[in-house]
Chains A and B, each alone.
Chain A
Amino acid sequence: MTTTDVMDWDAITRDPRFMDLHRRKTAFLWGLMALSVAYYFLLPIGAAYFQDLFKIRVWGVINIGLLFALSQFILTWLVAVIYGRKSSRDFDVLAAQVLAEFSGRTASVRPGVNT
């Protein structure tokens, strides 16, 4: 962990590795987020408007609605595991590289700190 207070923020934002990190992270996070939210809202929408589908029994008395609700747990855990692994393997490594590159240098100006 580093507690470096001031770095050359503007230079970092122009660094290709940082830009790459940010682009990949943004795509990954918002993509996963949009997917999860869409999947979740299928539950109240299905429960309200597609009750006939939810009522179909597939495993003993267990119906599609119940299985779909249970699948939300699997999805949530999958998101947690996938994101955890992706971050520690990719994002954290890239971030550490950028950090190592810039932590030696300090900025000439201290933009807005201690205001």
Chain B
Amino acid sequence: MKTHFKKTPLAALLGLAALGASFAIQAQSAAGEGKRSLTFIVFAVIIAITMYVTYIAAKRVRSASDFYTAGGAVTGWQNGWAISGDYLSAASFLGIAGLISLYGYDGFMYSVGFLVAYITVLLLIAEPCRNIGRYTLSDILTYRNDPRKTRIFGALSVITVSTFYLTAQMVGAGVLLKTLIGINYETSVLCVGVLMLAYVLFGGMVATTWVQIIKAVLLVSASLLIVALVWVPYGLSLPAFLQDVVSDPKVQARVATLLGDPAKTMSAADLGQRFLEPGLYLKAPIDQISLGMALVFGTAGLPHILMRFFTVRTALHARQSVVWAMIIIGGFYLLTLFLGFGAAKFVGPADIAAVDAGGNIAAPLLAQFIGGGPDSVFGNFMLAFVSAVAFATIVAVVAGLVLASASAIAHDLYVGVIRDGKEVSPTGQVKAARIATLIVGALAIGIGIASKGQNAAVLVGLAFAVAASANFPCILLTLHWKRCNTAGVIAGLVVGIVAAVGLTLLSPNLTYPKAVKAAAHKVLDEDSAKRAAATEALKSDDPKQVAKAKKEIGALDKAVTKANADIAKWGNAQTSFMGLEAPWFPLKNPGIISIPLGFLAVLIGSLLFRDRRAESLWNEVYVRQNIGLVVSKSTAVH
């Protein structure tokens, strides 16, 4: 048994060295320069460290408890770093920095929402979960309820949330690695998937925890280094730094582009100042509030985050780990202010958007600039380092997600439902967990490749919306409301999932061909008039006017190409994937409707089908969650 575990990670280590080499070869052929080998070295070092950790961890994984929860032996501060590593996805590091660099203030509002979410986790969720649960979210939901029924629906919800989140990460990974190191989308997804499988399959939660810790430390260090280089020249003065940002012509030009006609009457200083004011990105007020609800309540329902609380010994450790996580995550999100505004000032919004329209490459480009630019060794080292950190970020988050899904399949569905609580040996449980991991990992790679071109932000939003509408009401009410029972939990899960997914399918997030084609035709109709005006301006004596006109003609050419492509792409299609000509639901974020619906379903379900057993077990739940009695191993097997 022991030798088996010793050999397999070594073989995996060799396999991954080969994988790393293929990275280098592909990257080399893409650029064929010395700086690509620099990228390769940085990637190889990070992969080698995490593989060594996995090798050590694999020796410790013997039971289901080791595999799912690292034997409950993680300390408070370790778990705090691991939660940060599990939570800070590429979406926060690259996505938010990008949003701030392109839209200013509105991007920073995302940072605030993602952090404040931890207040809910700290006050309402972390400690009771540690006291009531064992391996999975369904453990909490089944405590007072019918184990079979609740487990089926609990697992379904976990898999739904994790799949959306996982797909978003995979799509992000494919796009990022393609842009950052020049390997193609499919290979990128495959690399992330295989590496993640190596960690989870051999090292289970022990390896996943350490990979998340390493990644969080790397992410925070890389960000601190960039921010130090950006901010120190300003004598660590926030007003001086932001003054320089708003005075920058690149930033002012960006605001002018975003505002369109109203910008014409504004002074340069006003345009710059506008970058620090709300409303450049988030335009629908209710949508903003709805998104805020999904963030603040959704985090407390994310299965891969909840699972982290089962890795510590007591409620005290769970609390300490959230406090640590709040300090680390808050510190990191504070840095996004400098990463985003720094990128806007030094790289420029136009250049950032030219590489990636969503701004996702803002932080790496800033790192390269601050290190001395594309022609300097340090600049390229910084780019390589930040790219490798982004890669580690994605792998660590994906590992957490796959572990959460695999535990729902192996522990809830296989051990809990299919074997119906019959004794499954420790070896059998670990085997089931590993098989489930392999299945989920393979599916994740497949879905990642199939979802090429999907919008990662919409998928992450959907994951948060389902977690907030289905998981959060059920967990909260089963922990805090005596009358909550099986019928309520099942109703809450079903209504929450259906409402969040359903409203998103009917929302403006989908493509509506009729509107797309109408917009394209409008561009084509207006083209000749605009082109005539620009051609006239070309004759002007003022070189500034001529340059402006040339730029405008270039933009018109691009718009026409895109309009024609859109018309050709959608052909005769009139309706969205759901058969609608226009969105039925006006908001992009369903939370404001689906979260109350989820709560309502738990309430109505519980009241309609009264369950004496659930109520008789209330006192136990009530005492346990209040005085920090941990569910011990012998009692937790339902």
Contact = CB atoms under 8 A, between A and B. Distances in A.
A45 B282 CA distance: 12
B112 A40 contact: yes
B123 A92 contact: no
A72 B629 contact: no
B515 interface: no
A61 interface: yes
Contacts of B144: 112
Interface string B313-338: 11010011011001100100110000
B285 A48 contact: yes
A111 B620 contact: yes
Contacts of B320: 84
Nearest to B613: A112
Interface string B108-133: 11001101101110111000000000
Interface string A76-115: 1101110110011000100100110000000000011111
Interface in B546-560: none
B529 interface: no
Interface in A49-78: 49, 51, 54-55, 57, 59-63, 65-66, 69-70, 72-73, 75-77
Nearest to B337: A70
B451 interface: no
Contacts of A10: 619
B478 to A, nearest CB: 14
Interface in A1-40: 1-7, 9-10, 12-13, 18, 21-22, 25, 29, 32-33, 36-37, 40
Nearest to B292: A44
Given A44-B109, A48-B278, A1 B326 contact: no
For B243, B316, B623, the residue with the greatest tally of chain A CB atoms inside 10 Å of its CB is B623
A4 B629 contact: yes
Contacts of B292: 40-41, 43-44
A70 B116 CA distance: 12
Contacts of A81: 323
Contacts of B239: 59-62
Interface in B255-314: 273, 276-279, 282, 285, 288-289, 291-292, 296, 313-314
Contacts of A48: 278-279, 282, 285, 288-289
Contact of A65 (B124, B278, B626): B278
A24 to B, nearest CB: 10
A94 to B, nearest CB: 8
B291 to A, nearest CB: 8
B630 interface: yes
B224 to A, nearest CB: 16
A51 B637 contact: no
Nearest to A85: B323
A43 B278 CA distance: 10
Given A1-B313, A37-B296, A43 B319 contact: no
B314 A9 contact: no
B149 interface: no
Contact of A3 (B277, B282, B620, B630): B630
A65 B313 CA distance: 41
B430 to A, nearest CB: 22
Nearest to B118: A76
For A6, A21, A80, the residue with the greatest tally of chain B CB atoms inside 10 Å of its CB is A80
Contacts of A43: 109, 112, 292
A18 B326 contact: no
For B108, B242, B277, B627, the residue with the greatest tally of chain A CB atoms inside 10 Å of its CB is B627
Contact of B620 (A9, A41, A73): A9
Contacts of A25: 626
Interface in B615-638: 616-617, 619-620, 622-623, 626-630, 632-635, 637-638
A65 B637 CA distance: 51
Given A40-B112, A65-B277, A9 B619 contact: yes
B31 interface: no
B232 interface: no
B123 A83 contact: yes
Contacts of A5: 632, 634-635
Contact of A80 (B326, B630, B634): B326
Which 8 residue pairs of A and B lie closest in terms of their CB atoms, listed nearest first?
A60-B239, A48-B285, A47-B278, A3-B632, A95-B627, A9-B619, A44-B288, A80-B326
16 contacts: A1-B630, A5-B634, A43-B109, A43-B112, A44-B289, A47-B106, A49-B285, A51-B278, A55-B277, A60-B242, A69-B112, A73-B115, A79-B122, A80-B118, A84-B319, A99-B627
Interface of A: 1-7, 9-10, 12-13, 18, 21-22, 25, 29, 32-33, 36-37, 40-41, 43-49, 51, 54-55, 57, 59-63, 65-66, 69-70, 72-73, 75-77, 79-81, 83-84, 87-88, 92, 95, 98-99, 111-115
Given A83-B123, A111-B617, 13 more contacts: A4-B632, A5-B634, A22-B622, A40-B292, A47-B109, A51-B279, A65-B105, A70-B334, A77-B327, A83-B122, A95-B626, A111-B619, A113-B620
